[in-house]
Amino acid sequence: MPRPRSAARHVRTLLFSSSSALVALVALAALAALAALAVSGTACGPGPGAARARPTVAATKEEPAKERDAYPDDAAIARAGQEYLDLLVEIHPEDATALGLHRNDAELDDRSMAGHDAGTERKEALLRSLEKRFENPRASPSAHTDLAMLLGALRSDIRKRRGQKPLQRKPDVYVEPLNAIFQMTARDYAPAAERARDVVARLEKIPKVVVQAKENVLDPPRVWTEIAIDRAASAKSFLAQQRPFLVGALPDETARIDAALAGATAAYEDYKRFLQKTVLPRSNGGFAAGRGLFEYLLKHEYFLDEGADELLAMGKKVFAETNAQMLEVAKRIDPKAKGWAEVTVKVKAKHPTADELLDAYRKEVARARAFLVEKQVVPFPPGDDLEVVETPAFMRSTITAAYDQPPPFDARTSKGFFFVTPVDKTLPKRKQEEMLRENDWADIVDTSVHEAYPGHHLQLSFARRSPSMIRRALDRAIFSEGWALYSEELMAELGYYDDAQRLIQLEWALVRAARIILDVGLHVGEMTFEQAVKMLTDEVHLERSLAVSEVKRYTESPTQPSAYMVGRQKILELRERARVRDGARFSLEAFHSDLLSRGTVPPSLLAREMFGGD
């Protein structure tokens, strides 16, 4: 992937937690509604051949012969991208589904140790081959960027697979098939019957996944086991909600559907008990990535020159600056206030009811879009389509609001989903009020900016149109999250927020600065889980429940928490360079159009394309 800005503001759906560290995905009622719509609307969908079509490299107009001669390796780099995607579809069919590559939709990832090791070896072989082929590439600047991203993705993924041992230490990876099932029932990329058959085939394989989990899971950190227990516990209700879609699409196969659902449900109930009784008592593993892996990811995923110490210094500097800004705004709201925290308490007391929450977000998304249309500072893609829906139950323990982009390789599905976690009415009244205070009116304004306009939805709607297959497949959080946080500051510059909304927007900027400090502290330093929670409750004044949810995610995803603020700062640097270069000709809309047209690329690589140099 919020404000309770959760774990994942942007999510390509939880499955990218296996290959590029993402997190993911419509309340059960919403799922059923979406599935029903999908069943009724299949006549307009692509046929089976279209659904399984292999994306082609030659999707754009042919380059002039002169350019081909000057950059003879461009086509070969594009073909290398196809090799990578073919390997991904084979090794990670669940991730492929999220990307919109549907050739292997009836399969699940091989979570056996032998399968995992074989997949890693194949990635290592591809990496060696690419390094040899492109030792000194004669390529255009954009192709150089594509190659750098491709090599970086392979290097970082291999390092994580070898070093983090996810099958042994991350028990939630065995619940990730639910993410792929969600994608297949909620998105109308193929006839409903075809999608339903693939879903059933995957459901029938889930018991084997749980068997593999019991064989593999050894010494996870306690917090990771707790996350997996929560997700396994939510599987029962999630799977029950899939039945209407499946039976509606395959009315003659009810017996098989019921057997598959029962088998998958029983398997995850068994897995939950196994985690609670067997794994949790022995969950003594550490979650820290260590300096070596942390800085390796900074270099090969984000292409940063800075190391952990430089990031920590940046985080502390921005944290102090933002604190000062918050106090200034708080004094405008209440001149008698002793600090900004007491003012935010008053702001958060004004919120919709639980029943009004979803509609409040929908109205604010529409308002933000209308404001940007009037200001003419960002472009809008053709066919812009966004729906605000409830977060699926199996993700609610770590997500409070997030964006799920349409699969970049599915030409027939362009809808993005903005997930909002509803208030759990089974909780004590005090806990329900706590959730609502984090969805106050001002928070709703800022969250809608971040997730929708001009944040994730707008940016990723352009990114999925990139002619580069590599860029469509490999979005990087340092740009996607950096852009979303930059969007919040941009709206402040444009005068969108009143003082209460600006205060909350700054509060979340403070959270993002704190994330750098905590990210480095948890993975490189000696910060404990409770120390990280304490910083968020004492210095950022988050509710404890939200602070715990935040820190849970930080432990699972080294460097990703830093991506927000580091990315924002790097985008601001790009904007300033463009302003200096263009002088009086500088246009915000032109800058944003240029930036958004280039895909979800680390800013340091974008700088080479936009301004030249190494």
Write out pLDDT tens, residues 247-259.
Answer: 999 999 999 999 9
- Residue 47 is predicted with a pLDDT of 34
Q: What secondary structure letter does DSSP report for 11?
A: E
Residues paired with 404 in a beta bridge:
11, 417
One-letter amino acid of 12: R
Residues 122 and 266 in one domain: no
- Residue 395 is predicted with a pLDDT of 74
CA distance 117 to 92: 13
Structural domains in the chain (count): 2
Residues 6+ apart with CB under 8 A from 394: 175, 178, 231, 234, 235, 238
Query: In the chain, which residues have pLDDT < 50?
Result: 1-62
Domain boundary among 167, 195, 225: 167
Residue 529 resides in a domain? no
- Domain region containing 261: 29-51+170-282
Residue 139 resides in a domain? yes
Residue 138 resides in a domain? yes
- Residue 70 is predicted with a pLDDT of 80
Residues 160 and 177 in one domain: no
CA distance 367 to 448: 9
Residues 184 and 80 in one domain: no
- Residue 614 is predicted with a pLDDT of 55
CA distance 596 to 599: 6
Residue 474 resides in a domain? no
- Residue 9 is predicted with a pLDDT of 42
- The helix/strand/coil state of 420 is strand
One-letter amino acid of 277: K
Residue 184 resides in a domain? yes
Residues 129 and 178 in one domain: no
Residues 69 and 149 in one domain: yes
* pTM higher than the cut 0.85: yes
Residues 98 and 241 in one domain: no
Q: pLDDT tens digits for 378-426?
A: 999 988 999 999 998 777 766 778 998 889 998 887 899 999 999 999 9
Residues 112 and 127 in one domain: yes
Residue 192 near residue 43 (C-beta atoms within 8 A): no
Residues 33 and 133 in one domain: no
